[in-house]
Amino acid sequence: MAKIDPLERLADLVLLLLDTSTPLSLHQIANEIPGYPEAKDARRQAFERDKRLLREEGIEIEVVEIGGAAQQGYRIDPDRFFLPSLQLTTEEQVALAIAVAGTTGPGDGARGALAKLGVVGERPSTPLLELERPPAVAALFEAIRTEAIVHFSYLGEQRTVYPWLLRFITGHWYLEGYAVERAAERRYRVDRLEGPVTMGAPGSRPAPPEDLRRASGAVGVSLDEGQGLPGIVVEVDAVGLARLRAELGSVVTTPGSAAGLVRVALSASSAAMARSWVLRLGQHGIVVEPEHLRAELRQWLEAMLAPTSLPAEVTPPQVADHEPEPEVVLGRSKVRLRRLLSLVTWLAQVGEASITEIGERFAMTPEEVVAELELAACCGSPPYTPDALLDIMVDGDRVVATLPSQLAQPRRLGREEGFLLAAAGHAMLSIRGPGDEALASAVVKLNAALGAEDALEVTIDPTGRLEELVAAAATHRQLSLRYYSFHRDVVEDRVVTPLEVFTERGRGYLEAFCHQAGAIRSFRIDRIEEVADLGPVPSELEDVRAPSRRRGFFDGASEVLLVVDEHGAWVADSVPVLGVERRGTHTVISLAVSSERWMAELLVQLGAHGRVVAPSSMREVGATAARELLARYAANS
């Protein structure tokens, strides 16, 4: 038997199973499609391998009980293979392509989705924003889209959740839904889910009660760690209030016990969550009530001053095992199949194109284009007579295709492809705003085709100031900012000349010339409280430009070696780390730290569950912060 290109066999298998009205047995399939071994066991192995490859590419082969010696038959349901027509305009296609190209994280999966839709990909040199992509997020998106219940482990407990929203905010993905064990709405940070996500059958999720569907990001729907703790009153100064606003948006205040202090009422899902929030405020906030939470905070801080069993000397970690596994590289047959099916879909839509145009569109050399088209021309339906093959003709540099209209319909997107394309569209829309009509309408059409109208919410700019700052940089306006400086721990006024707006780790930043510093600085947009336009940029500053390389997050930072027990291992998932390694009952973490005060706040959140090993100058930072906070609680008794 002549050797058959595996890609030709795969393409023939797809076309055959799409075209059949009744399920076909493996014996019938092997008789119709060249390339399958004659031996029964070898044929079964080859077919199962093809099925697995097609499933990984998002092509599901239905298995139907047909009885008799064959027992099982196979077909591809056209309704599950083809995507309902999006009817994207040229402007909408370009908008989606730019959204994918300008977003790091979605990567090849989103570009593969574009190829299925017949959209040309754009590849700018500098992406505009980053999107974290935890392993479980695509499965959760699928569960929301199909209204399926989900099961997973979180903080050491098994959870059953009716999911209804994936929200990207402050650089992380969160799942919102009804937690069966808590009998209430809860929010879960997706990168903290432990192990795989198990989905129920489509439609297994009960309809959520409308009064549970909260749209706000309040603390009350924060991480699921307990049964709930309402009625918390925190007293904060101006800096603490600025930090709360940066995290929560607008907050309601009442007068505090002294001038310059205000009180804020919060609710949290547990005392542990409330403790973490308050300790992050450092010296700028203390709990006023309830008294039992004040007592728990004092006990937590006192435990930091007691001896610990954590080792005082450790070697730095050698591996960063908190990082997700690298994406598995696709096999050559799978890559070629995706490209071939996308190419056939596009040719069925346009009918005629040049080899040069095809090569540019699908990133192929002219030789590769001709080779793949020659192979495609050999594919079709049994009996593979000329009239049953794909009608593709190459004449010089021109390609003419007369293909069934059915093949012009885009293929249904795979689970990950659909999520990644939708995420990129939503993310770019959150930056550009509803004024980008082409992108907005493309996202609406995509959501409708995926059946995911309310499944995603991406917030890159919770303050709503990003568009104003982009315009100021583009029109050379000078601004006055009321800004909370984290490193200086003050709220102050800055006069700046905006240069560029960008995102990093899911947050928006303004790169600007700061007149007080006399140098270029980066300002986190969610820490800007007020903006005032001071008019055109002075002539002497018109030539100031943004640096060619942005200052990295770790530039000028010191390396700190931290050891934590099992209750402190959350640090590796919550802050940028250089390395992490689990060693028996404890974990060693290497951090890049540019602020001693930031390190102090991290350590008081860890409590007795972590200690600094090196450098020696940082070893007492946590204990010092604990003593200062205890003194504040004593004075406020």
Share of the chain above pLDDT 70, in %: 77
Count of Cβ atoms closer than 10 Å to residue 402 Cβ: 12
Q: Could you give the 3-state DSSP secondary structure of residue 276?
A: helix
Mean pLDDT of 489-513: 80
> Residue 100 pLDDT more than 80?
no
The answer to whether residue 407 scores a pLDDT higher than 50 is: yes
pLDDT at residue 226 tops 60: no
| Closest listed residue to residue 606, CA positions, set 351, 276, 380, 353 | 276
DSSP state, residue 119: P
Secondary structure of residue 95 in the 3-state scheme: helix
Residue 109: count other Cβ atoms within 10 Å of its Cβ. Answer: 23
pLDDT at 480: 92
The predicted structure's pLDDT at residue 599 = 85
Confidence at residue 541, expressed as pLDDT on a 0 to 100 scale: 66
* Confidence band, pLDDT 50/70/90 cuts, at residue 223: very low
Give the per-residue pLDDT at 149: 93
Cβ atoms of 37 and 46 closer than 8 Å: yes
- Burial class of residue 628 (count of CB atoms within 10 Å of its CB; 0-12, 13-18, 19+): middle
What tokens does 313 get? 């000397």
The percentage of residues in the chain with a pLDDT greater than 90, rounded to a whole number, is 2
Euclidean distance between CA atoms 624 and 597, whole angstroms: 11
Q: What is the pLDDT of residues 322-377, one digit of tens each?
A: 333 333 333 456 667 777 877 888 788 888 889 888 887 777 888 888 888 888 77
Residue 404: cis peptide before it, omega within 30 degrees of 0:
no
119-140 pLDDT, tens digit per residue, is 655 554 445 566 767 778 888 9
Q: Give pLDDT, residue 382.
A: 67
Fold of domain 558-635: Alpha-Beta Plaits (3.30.70)
* Contact between residue 314 and residue 563 where contact means Cβ atoms under 8 Å apart: yes
Considering only residues 288 and 487, tell me which one the structure prediction assigns the higher pLDDT. Answer: 288
Question: Which pLDDT band, with edges at 50, 70 and 90, does 190 fall under?
Answer: confident
Q: Across 69-78, 270-279, 544-553, which has the greatest mean pLDDT?
A: 69-78
Tens of pLDDT, residues 262-307: 888 877 666 677 787 788 888 888 888 888 888 888 889 899 998 8
Three-class SS of residue 514? strand
Show the 3-state SS of 545-600: CCCCCCCCCCCCCEEEEEEEEHHHCCHHHHCCEEEEEEECCEEEEEEEECCHHHHH
Q: Enumerate the β-bridge partners of residue 563.
A: 588, 611
pLDDT band at 540; cut points 50, 70, 90: low
CATH number of 229-304: 3.30.70
Dig out the tokens for 212 from the structure.
Answer: 């549970």
445 falls in which pLDDT band (50, 70, 90)? confident
Q: What is the DSSP string of 169-210?
A: ETTEEEEEEEETTTTEEEEEEGGGEEEEEEE--TT-SPPPPG
Q: In the structure, what pLDDT confidence band is assigned to residue 151 with cuts at 50, 70 and 90?
A: very high
Where are the chain's structural domains? Answer: 1-81, 229-304, 466-541, 558-635
d(CA 632, CA 66): 76
Q: Strand ranges (DSSP E) for 31-104?
A: 62-67, 71-75, 103-104
Q: What does the pLDDT read at residue 130?
A: 66
1-81 maps to which CATH number?
1.10.10.10
Averaged pLDDT for residues 593-600: 79
Answer whether CATH 2.30.30 is correct for domain 466-541: yes
Per-residue pLDDT at 70 exceeds 80? no
pLDDT-derived band of residue 546, with 50, 70 and 90 as boundaries?
low
Query: CB under 8 Å to 433, separation ≥6 — which residues?
Result: 467
CA atoms within 13 A on the CB side of 105: 29
pLDDT band at 224 (very low <50, low <70, confident <90, very high): very low
**pLDDT per residue over 558-589, tens digit each?**
888 889 888 887 787 667 677 888 888 888 88
Pick from 117-131, 178-192, 301-315, 584-598: least confident = 117-131
The confidence band for 550, taking pLDDT boundaries of 50, 70 and 90, is very low
Say whether 466-541 and 1-81 share the same fold. no
| pLDDT exceeds cutoff 60 at 150 | yes
Residues facing residue 576 across a β-bridge: none
528 has which bridge partners?
A: 483
Task: Provide the pLDDT confidence category of residue 219 given band limits of 50, 70 and 90.
Answer: very low
Average the pLDDT over each of 328-332, 547-551, 624-628 and give the range with the smallest value.
328-332
199 — pLDDT class (breaks 50, 70, 90): confident
The answer, yes or no, to whether residue 253 has pLDDT greater than 70, is yes
Angstrom distance (rounded) from CA 467 to CA 462:
12
Query: Which residues, other chains included, contact 428 with Cβ-Cβ below 8 Å and sequence gap of 6+?
Result: 98, 99, 102, 103, 128, 129, 436, 439
Question: Is pLDDT of 178 > 90?
Answer: no
Report residue 439's pLDDT band, with 50, 70 and 90 as the boundaries: confident
